[in-house]
Structure 1
């Protein structure tokens, strides 16, 4: 998933006009251009996907290696690649991530911030209608974001919007968000797949209506089996949604997915078998895509549960894993070694100077001794639903850990229900993350104290202090230093064993046409429904 313009190295093409900064192709870097000297930060007419020679028509069939029977249409519960693709296909969002990783307008056609980035005004596009024919209103936007706020919310996106103190409307086309503290990356928040804009009913989001204002209308949803869509003919953007219909199948079994593609039953699959991806790519009519981005695979240990509540045990686990061996045998060149924190090279504030934790059985033994242990036995739960090759990775971890006096018992669990029954519940388990567009989003979602998806139950006072401070800091170098320290804290103190960053590897029929593909999530940012077409 390699971007021609890397996520952390984009050219600043903003222009300053009067007391406002406006631009085309607003990236995280340009959002901060000029810092507090600006009286406002704004975006207008940014990066709508350009017209391409694409034909309309046909039904695309895609097999996803995700999905479970307890999936829900409540956007706060979206949890896997199946529901992410569903969300981006049927729903509208205030902003979006373009194929080059920059920020683009969507339902919000422009936005502007106060000098301290504590108040943001979003001008909402006119003429948008839901699939039911209902016009988009400002109330829809307010209740959609409020769905993820408050003490009663169960949404995984709650940490992303926790800093909002008030949402208000101005006139008939503007929504204002007041924040507890400044957030220089705030417009990126609304690209998150949970923060879909749904119709309001009695002051709340009506997700049971199965209505949306995205490029495709949902016509059937059988959780863990299939979702079917038809093109939204009244979509506001005529440069997307080229298929007449979409059939998305949940096919967690790898062999079944691959067979479906080879036999022509489906046009695209994700989560390929990397051991045989070269052979698959040699088959006529099949194209392999391998794109580097923020995706990473982890083994998450609950830091509030013995023995993982001892930092020395956590350090022993990190020194007992042979990362290079795993990258070679599991990723087959489609990824790189990780260093136990999620901020890889694709991020703007990646810390390249953070020392790599090596495979060092003697150092692992040292940390066990510091914990008062001569040896240690732990259970590691894994299923290939977590990531392709997760069970094999766990076995490799088991083998390397033996030299350190660590006995890792691999508990192979069922694929179905993994995210509901194992993740966040078993104290040591395999996990995959698609990453997020900004450092603040991934840290807030997966590492902040109290976050619903803080999979290691980790709490570090200094980290949480820096998380709030970095979000509001407009000085580029000060912000960089904060994120560097946060990465070190996660690596040295956190409960995440992160051995590798994995490329997004997926395949499609050569009947499919697409342009430059995004690398912020799997399969063209999971916006393949709106971006692809048939030749």
Structure 2
């Protein structure tokens, strides 16, 4: 990455201030470039306007979708529940910082084991009930316990007790210290609901009120007149359409049937950028594409098999061909350059057919054929990525059969079930959240079913470690363990590319999740 590109990314992530960016760029003789960066974005300059009907065409919808926030797995429901209907205690801003949402403040004990959250007063649910501590306790408990099927279960497992201290204060006691606990409370599953309500009733505190919902097809919401954020929720109505096919989404945007689309087809990005009526938004964050191997299933229970497949993929080719350069190579762990403790010191794994052959021979399984399950539902280009993987693996004497699965139901019928499949991950704001969600032993979304004693021990210790140097060394070791012993191939980190009509305006984009941290419907507005 060039020096200027690196500066751009640091600024976009909020790692350096505007002044620091300009000073460093000027030192490089790049003053002209800085002016274009700051002044070429008129869509961000205008003050927010109220009104209008936002129409979004999104991938990631399924007929099995539910309004229960514990179960949402992909874009359609994440944008609906987290970006339109609900709120968590904490929000992540465009600088990747935790800021108050339903909680107005919080404080921790010196050992970070006890956290006290004071709730915002006067917040109303869509049914008119006033938010209080009982609602928060009930909502978080929905994700706890042995019977919970929530994807956030591992995030809240360290909570040993939740109690109220008056109607507007909630006290969390953890099994061990966690310096990142406010980030945990921002998770998009941990949306607050009224106590004793049906989790799939769609009643929350958010900017919009649900009027119509057909799973995997459409959702329609209207503005919440009592929303507690006066500077958010600018649209009168929002219609969300599930459009799985990227070409159909693109055509819908070009013909004015929708205002916003996610996950652009990279082949068409330059044409979209060239349109006077459209704009492309790019977020360089934590999104990564993987090929997950189940470590509890032969032959992937053999680490030499896993290593052979890691060396058998041409990462550079995938970034160039599948991402069209809108991304960077991955190093077989989920912590990207946008993360605080990214292990840049780890040697980058590269395509090496000879090493792949060595590990396959060491595994002693002969000429096995590996079935790689893919679908465009996993991510745009997943099927083509599988074909390229097959071709590069063949040069190492490894036979890969690419199995194209139906888009509908992919996340219910293929992911977590097939021994080897293509997976999309949006990433998480912190290392602990990412590792706890997808790599902790027994986690519902541990899609490699990996169980590593040393890793599990470090996971608990690192979240409680308050010494910055020690904490970083722990997370670096965890990244190395996943890279060298885990069951995931992480060939690439992808920029988030969405597109919209020029009428759409927005502020600085958050990078923690797609479409402004899943908050586009709440944060954006029509400029004209």
Q: Is the pair's TM-score, using the shorter chain for normalization, greater than 0.5?
A: yes
* Residue 227, structure 1, aligned to residue 219, structure 2: yes
Distance 1:399 1:288 in 2: 32
1:371 to 351, 363, 367: 363
Distance 1:534 1:133 in 2: 29
- 1:301-316 to structure 2, matched below 5 A, reads 301-316=293-308
Aligned to 2:272: 280
Aligned to 2:99: 104
* Residue 151, structure 1, aligned to residue 146, structure 2: yes
Distance 2:14 2:515 in 1: 20
Distance 2:229 2:216 in 1: 30
RMSD, aligned α-carbons: 1.5
- 1:172-183 to structure 2, matched below 5 A, reads 172-183=167-178
Distance 2:473 2:326 in 1: 30
Cα gap change, 1:7 to 1:512, in 2 (>3 Å): closer
* Residue 115, structure 1, aligned to residue 107, structure 2: no
Shift of 1:114: 0.2
Distance 1:228 1:51 in 2: 29
* Residue 65, structure 1, aligned to residue 50, structure 2: no
* Residue 322, structure 1, aligned to residue 314, structure 2: yes
Shift of 1:200: 1.0
Shift of 1:3: 5.6
Aligned to 2:36: none
Per-residue CA shift, 1:93-133, capped at 9, x if unaligned? 10000012111101100000000000000000100001111
* Residue 87, structure 1, aligned to residue 81, structure 2: yes
Shift of 1:51: 12
Secondary structure, aligned partner of 1:74? coil
Distance 2:174 2:154 in 1: 13
Secondary structure, aligned partner of 1:132? coil
2:263 touches 2:380 (CA, 8 Å); kept in 1?
yes
Secondary structure, aligned partner of 2:70? helix
* Residue 76, structure 1, aligned to residue 70, structure 2: yes
Pick the structure with more helix per residue.
2
Aligned to 1:510: 502
Structure 1: 5+ residue runs without aligned partners?
Answer: 12-49
* Residue 452, structure 1, aligned to residue 444, structure 2: yes
Shift of 1:171: 1.6
Cα gap change, 1:404 to 1:8, in 2 (>3 Å): farther
1:334 to 326, 333, 352: 326
Distance 1:56 1:219 in 2: 20
Distance 2:140 2:47 in 1: 36
- 1:346-425 to structure 2, matched below 5 A, reads 346-425=338-417
2:133 touches 2:166 (CA, 8 Å); kept in 1?
no
State the aligned residue count.
494
* Residue 433, structure 1, aligned to residue 428, structure 2: no
Secondary structure, aligned partner of 1:207? coil
* Residue 262, structure 1, aligned to residue 254, structure 2: yes
Deviates more, 1:295-304 or 1:81-90: 81-90
Secondary structure, aligned partner of 1:275? helix
Aligned to 1:23: none
1:131 touches 1:217 (CA, 8 Å); kept in 2?
yes
Distance 1:122 1:154 in 2: 26
Distance 1:516 1:218 in 2: 27
Distance 2:493 2:510 in 1: 17
* Residue 294, structure 1, aligned to residue 286, structure 2: yes
Secondary structure, aligned partner of 1:209? coil
Shift of 1:8: 8.3
Cα gap change, 1:135 to 1:464, in 2 (>3 Å): same
TM (normalized to structure 1)?
Answer: 0.91
1:7 touches 1:347 (CA, 8 Å); kept in 2?
no
* Residue 526, structure 1, aligned to residue 521, structure 2: no
Secondary structure, aligned partner of 2:95? coil
Cα gap change, 1:161 to 1:7, in 2 (>3 Å): farther
TM (normalized to structure 2)?
Answer: 0.92
Secondary structure, aligned partner of 1:424? coil
